[in-house]
Structure 1
Amino acid sequence: MSLVQMSRLSVTRLALHAQNHHLLLSSSVSPLITFKRTMLQDPYRRPGQPKENKFPWEKINFDLSKGLAGIKKHFALLKKEFADRWVGPEGKPIIEHLLEQNRVVWEFRGPESLEDWVVSSDREIGGHSEAYLKIGRNNNTCLLYGTLNSTPPRDGETRYSGYCTMKSKQQLSSFDRKKHFDWTSFNTLHLRVRGDGRPWMINIGFETYFSHQKDDLYSYFLYTRGGPYWQDVKIPFSKFFLTHRGRIQDDQHCLWLDKVNSIGFTLGDKADGPFQLEIDFIGVCKDYAHTEEFAYEVYKRNPEV
């Protein structure tokens, strides 16, 4: 082998060695630039379904008659808002607002009261549970019933299943602005229910400022006795703990009672079979005997020395 061939062979080996070294470094070192999509939490998508790549304006149904009806509706709501402001907070006189100790927020008096609620189950992700909502026999209560099934769907990805949920819709004011419940004058949630002995989870949704907090909820347990008798349940707001997608958070803080958006009931006790929960009303009250601010340990951001 000549000297020229030996030099060419050595140069080729050095080039291959440098290329392999570069590949090892690139595979071990993570990129410094991260795409924005990976930094945010995507909404849940059922396994096996393709992602919907549409612009927001492509989902709007442009209809002239529907638009005119919407404008008329929103201007009527705006007129009512201005009239209520002259009377007092939430359309009540200021003296009545200050002395109020009990308030019924949701009550079920006819089929039209069910329009403010949404019922869902794990059937949306391929599960086998069923949940339904209807008005009671005397048109004064609502009945949430169905069948719980914890068998996971056969999609190769979902490992756990078995839940049913009833959640109130987001209240909207004129021009689809979010309308919050202001419960700062109260400290206790008041329910009148009749269940079948199953434990439920009560979830309170509140307004958040950041996109990664959109799945935050305040939760607490509702234990039903079962049987034909009604039970009045009073749960202080200080007992509700912060959760994110069903996981209890370490950094706990009190519920913002002036930014409440919704309330929901979730069943997921892994006991397969039929269930039912009858609700008379959902309200809030002021319990002067309860003075606790928050029942759980919170982090001191500036601890005393």
Structure 2
Amino acid sequence: MILTFKFLRKAGYSLGCQWTIFCPLARLSFAQCTPRMHSSSYRRPGVLPDNTPPWKNVDFNFKKSIEEVKKHFGLLKKEIVDHWTGPEGRPLIEHLLEQTRVIWEFRSQQDLEQWVVSSDQEIGGKSETYLKLSKNSQTALLYGTLNTSVPHDGETRYSGYCSLRSKMPQGAFNHRKHHDWSSFNALHLRIRGDGRPWMVNLGTEMYFSHQKDDLYNYFMFTRGGPYWQDVKASMAGVMIII
């Protein structure tokens, strides 16, 4: 599946988003698909726990540490300059008159590093997912195998998902940042799909801890074939799944 993104601005609608997930729905119903990233601490039933001491996974590299310090102080300097320049480092008049904003493009390997691909292979499934640049380096290609075979562990009932998730923006010293989409009310995706239905999830920073897994969802139906498809997901049309 090939993806490009941009946002459209219309009436004021407030929704500060952190990340986006794309999950194909194969022969499963919408309620059966679980488009969430599983943590590395997940252990499938019957698998022995990993008792490796934590200190063995620490990489002591002095040169890398110096580079990280320089990187974070550079980000701190940029944040201070951007704060005095205007919202997100742009003049205020430009921010107020903005109608569209391109959030993600796929032009280089660095653009691909802003995304994380995942599949049920992480929890014992057989699906595989990969992300690479197209031949003309103008788009990204998400490809792989979606396998809904259920592992024979006696507990798992459903299996088979593939997802593409954007990384959360980080500022100086790894403090969390968020995409400010409060000036926009629509998400525009330019895709060339595989004919399967996909689910677009938007996660926000919730105030209460019991809402941390709430997602805003939009169901996207791709046509398949060689032609590009423009999908406009209105923020007013998304629904929340708890």
How far did 1:88 drift? 0.6
**Alpha-carbon displacement from aligned partner over 1:180-208 (angstroms, at most 9, x marks no partner):** 01111100001111112111000112223
Aligned CA distance change for structure 1 residues 62 and 185 (closer, same or farther; 3 Å): same
The equivalent of 1:80 in structure 2 is 78
**Alpha-carbon displacement from aligned partner over 1:42-101 (angstroms, at most 9, x marks no partner):** x74322234567998886544433322211110000001111112110111100000101
| Structure 1: distance between partners of 2:194 and 2:52 | 44
The equivalent of 1:168 in structure 2 is 166
Aligned CA distance change for structure 1 residues 183 and 145 (closer, same or farther; 3 Å): same
Please give the secondary structure, in 2, of the residue aligned with 1:112: helix
1:21-170 matches, within 5 Å, as: 44-51=42-49, 60-170=58-168
1:228-247 matches, within 5 Å, as: 228-243=226-241
Conserved 8 A contact 2:129-2:145: yes
Q: Does 1:219 align with 2:183?
A: no
| Structure 1: distance between partners of 2:48 and 2:175 | 31
Q: Does 1:197 align with 2:195?
A: yes
**Alpha-carbon displacement from aligned partner over 1:14-49 (angstroms, at most 9, x marks no partner):** xxxxxxxxxxxxxxxxxxxxxxxxxxxxx7432223
| Structure 2: distance between partners of 1:229 and 1:140 | 16
| Structure 1: distance between partners of 2:235 and 2:110 | 29
The equivalent of 2:27 in structure 1 is none
**Alpha-carbon displacement from aligned partner over 1:113-169 (angstroms, at most 9, x marks no partner):** 111111111111111111111111211000111111110112222111011011111
Aligned CA distance change for structure 1 residues 226 and 218 (closer, same or farther; 3 Å): same
The amino acid across from 1:186 in the alignment is F
The equivalent of 2:11 in structure 1 is none
| Structure 2: distance between partners of 1:98 and 1:59 | 47
The amino acid across from 2:237 in the alignment is K
| Structure 1: distance between partners of 2:46 and 2:205 | 32
How far did 1:241 drift? 1.6
Structure number with higher helix proportion: 1
Please give the secondary structure, in 2, of the residue aligned with 1:106: coil
Max Rg structure: 1
| Structure 1: distance between partners of 2:161 and 2:152 | 17
Conserved 8 A contact 2:196-2:221: yes
Please give the secondary structure, in 1, of the residue aligned with 2:45: coil
Structure with more relative contact order (C-alpha pairs < 8 Å, separation 6 or more): 2
Conserved 8 A contact 2:193-2:223: yes
Q: TM-score with structure 2 length normalisation?
A: 0.77
Conserved 8 A contact 2:117-2:165: yes
How far did 1:225 drift? 1.2
Conserved 8 A contact 2:42-2:123: no
In structure 1, the gaps of 5 or more residues are 1-42, 244-248, 250-305
Conserved 8 A contact 2:197-2:219: yes
Aligned CA distance change for structure 1 residues 50 and 238 (closer, same or farther; 3 Å): farther
In structure 2, the gaps of 5 or more residues are 1-40
The amino acid across from 2:64 in the alignment is K
The amino acid across from 1:127 in the alignment is G
Aligned residues: 203
Moved more, 114-123 or 54-63: 54-63
| Structure 1: distance between partners of 2:49 and 2:210 | 20
